[in-house]
Amino acid sequence: MLVRLNQKVAADRLVYVVDDDAGVRNSLKFMLCSAGFDVEMFKSGQSFLSNYHPARTGCLLVDFEMPDLTGLELIAEVNQRGWSLPVVLISAHANVPLAVDAVKAGAFDVIEKPLQPNDVIDRLERALSETDADRRQRLLRAQLESRLNCLTAREREVFASIASGQPSKVIARQLGISFRTVEVHRSNITRKLLARSPADLVRLASASFPDGSLLGFSRDRSAENNPVE
């Protein structure tokens, strides 16, 4: 019984390190093993994809800049295969645009080099504590947020009203546009967000953004860039 318990603890603290630099891999292994993590190392994204078994748990710690698959491309492939792994990205240039792209791609977090041991350990602990349900919700939010960027300002207004359960006639009256225009916007929104049906559109909105956090319409956005009709 004790052996099984120790095996479970090790599995819950398993980190897959993917970096093309052997020196970095070895340094990370020493750091993480000293902190009680179990570590498996891979020299490339393709090597990880070829050897990982989806039944295993753990966290993926991956370098952004690699020759075969970049960190973002590896995240995309992990998501495409439906593997439930939190991913922490490390980069020498973890600026805001990269962080935004990484989160939208499904990364749990981004760490900037040079790596600070306590910071790395803290973020990995938080990533490993994420449940499957939490991760699915986070990925859904990230995917839908990315699709929301394709909406015009008016479409975002209409979508916010749809999320609050307003029928098209009410939306038209509130926004001062015709019923037909609302229906056109609704159709465009359904297409852009890849919703399967109007009901699915409402489900996506309410399930992903129950607090309306990403549905607000910013009136500072340029009318030229975001036509209202």
Domains of the chain: 2-130 (3.40.50.2300), 132-229 (1.10.10.10)
Tell me how many degrees the CA angle 206-193-75 measures, rounded to the nearest 5.
95
Q: How far apart are CA 49 and CA 212, in angstroms?
A: 37
Q: Kindly list the averaged pLDDT for each block of 10 residues, start to end, along the chain of length 229.
A: 35 88 95 95 96 91 92 89 88 76 82 91 91 71 74 89 84 94 91 79 65 46 40
Q: How far apart are CA 43 and CA 12, in angstroms?
A: 23
pLDDT of 220: 36
pLDDT of 201: 76
pLDDT of 33: 96
Three-state DSSP state, 66: coil
Q: Among candidates 68, 13, 63, 69, which has minimal Cα distance to 40? A: 13
Cα 101 to Cα 75, 129, 138, distances in angstroms: 11, 23, 14
Is the pTM of the predicted complex or chain greater than 0.75? no
Q: What is the DSSP letter of 114?
A: S
